[in-house]
Structure 1
Amino acid sequence: VTPRTGDIQTKEKFGDMQLHIEWTAPTEIKGEGQGRGNSGIFLMSHYEVQVLDSYESRTYSNGQAASIYKQTPPLVNAMKKPGEWNTYDIYFTAPRFNADGMVVAPARVTVVHNGILVQNNTEIKGPTEYIGIPNYKAHDDALPIKLQDHGDLVRFRNIWVRKL
């Protein structure tokens, strides 16, 4: 993702899915906390799995790599050194809504970061909010995946997705 060029999103739309993605933050460390290799993977354009250089870097727990951003920290920090490639294997179940638009089953996600389980069938409390409490609003059963442009140079490769 080239800084300040906007998010990248898929043309195809996905609901329940398995997503494999590899990513790396810059080798040269600039900044600290949220200023180091910051990006995100937005499942269904709403639910963020954080991408961040969290290697030997302090930040708030639910903002580090592999967190469900601003909701649930990872079980462990599985980051590799800056410049090394990290992998996420993400298993996502989309939320379910009734005819009135009320959530009847929240989204859930399992994340394996560099071969280590860091989110285990974690309930997602609603769309990612930078400030405020997440609240579900009914949306389509399938939406694009987005890779966030947060102003930092983050590289992605070997991306594949499978509908479940």
Structure 2
Amino acid sequence: MQSSSASVRGEIVIRRAVARDAKRLTRLVRGSRAYEGPYAAMVSDYRVGPDYIENHQVFVAVDAEDATDRVLGFYALLLAPAELDLLFVQDGTQGRGIGRLLVDHMKTQARAAGLDRVRVVSHPPAEGFYRAVGALPTGTARANPPAVAWDRPVLEFPIP
């Protein structure tokens, strides 16, 4: 399994997240427009901590030409059970292929770990994106108030 590898697509580099990224990843989650309105409560207290980063496969997309190492997006892959736990792209950078790049990287990591599929419980507005990048619908995760007050689509990425 790669632990410090990087992938490059134009000016975007994907690297393994490190503990010092925790606050930036937390801000990205809490500030996401995808979680405005009725979805806001789900992420208002959410925290991506250094311990989470150290214990899971967390990778960040950064702009290679930005000296501040600005995080454009990130994902977290859980290996047991195989699940894409988090995937976020900075609001102002969506539509540039960063999400697709992160998913492709996740599939490579999953394949290297010997996984043949990766489950994702999607935020409802993100279902179309996951389908567009190859995830297949498998069911529905029922609401679990108060943490999650709505049903969520469950999809699966086949890992060939």
The one of the two structures with greater contact order (alpha-carbon pairs below 8 A, sep at least 6) is: 1
- What is the TM-score when the length of structure 1 is the normalising length? 0.25
Higher strand share: 1
- What is the TM-score when the length of structure 2 is the normalising length? 0.25
